[in-house]
Amino acid sequence: RRQAGPAGAPSAQEPSRRYQVVLIESSVTLCREVRDFFARNAPKMDLRTLVSAVNLDDLASGADAVLIGPAPGGEPLDLLRTLRSRALDLPVILLARESDSETAVAAFKLGAQDYILQDPDYLTELIFSLQHILHRADLTRRNAQLSRELEMINRSLEAQVAARTRELEALSMRLIRVR
């Protein structure tokens, strides 16, 4: 039996699937670099790149995660706030050119799952972070699905117990009358 692995690796419970990742980044060169790296190193992730976040509702359709690059036509934290204000509950990773602990803390408070500094090896770190985040999101979705199924089964069992209880009470009443 296979163990549950990170996103991109099949688990025993879920067949292998492709993930849709959106990168919002103002640098076309950086978008190309990230797309090429993903094509070589993350075959289960399809990367869509946007140089601006013009229509966030379209952005969310079908996306499994969002990457926000430094200042993509605005402040990355503003973009994250907008995503959250529209109830777009997608995993988000902020990419930064410089280390800034205040921005990192603010990003986490707004619900970002990671804050990655664009150092020379950041793309490898980014893929591992995405795998972890997407795997956790899959587990959360699966947990919610199983909870709904369990609730339905529980309601069905409660109805069966109630019906059987009524039957037994009726039989008990008959027995009392017979005595």
Whether 94 contacts 127, CB under 8 Å = no
> In this predicted structure, which of 36-50, 79-93, 132-146, 152-166 has the lowest mean pLDDT?
79-93
**What is the tens place of the pLDDT at every residue in 66-92?**
999 886 445 888 888 888 887 677 899
Q: What average pLDDT does the segment 139-147 reach?
A: 94
- Residue 141, SS3? helix
pLDDT at 143: 96
Whether 93 contacts 118, CB under 8 Å = no
Q: Quick one: tokens of 135?
A: 């795997």
Burial (CB count <10 Å: 0-12, 13-18, 19+), residue 25 = buried
Closest CA to 83 of 103, 62, 105, 57: 57
Question: What values do phi and psi take at 86, rounded to 5?
Answer: -95, 10
CA dihedral (15, 61, 52, 140) positive or negative: negative
pLDDT at 95 > cutoff 50: yes
Higher pLDDT, 168 or 90: 168
pTM of the model as a whole: 0.73
pLDDT at 52: 67
pLDDT at 12 > cutoff 60: no
The helix/strand count (H/E) of the chain reads as: 5, 5
**What is the tens place of the pLDDT at every residue in 103-119?**
899 999 999 999 999 99
Q: What average pLDDT does the segment 15-33 reach?
A: 85
Give the pLDDT band (50/70/90) at residue 55.
Answer: low
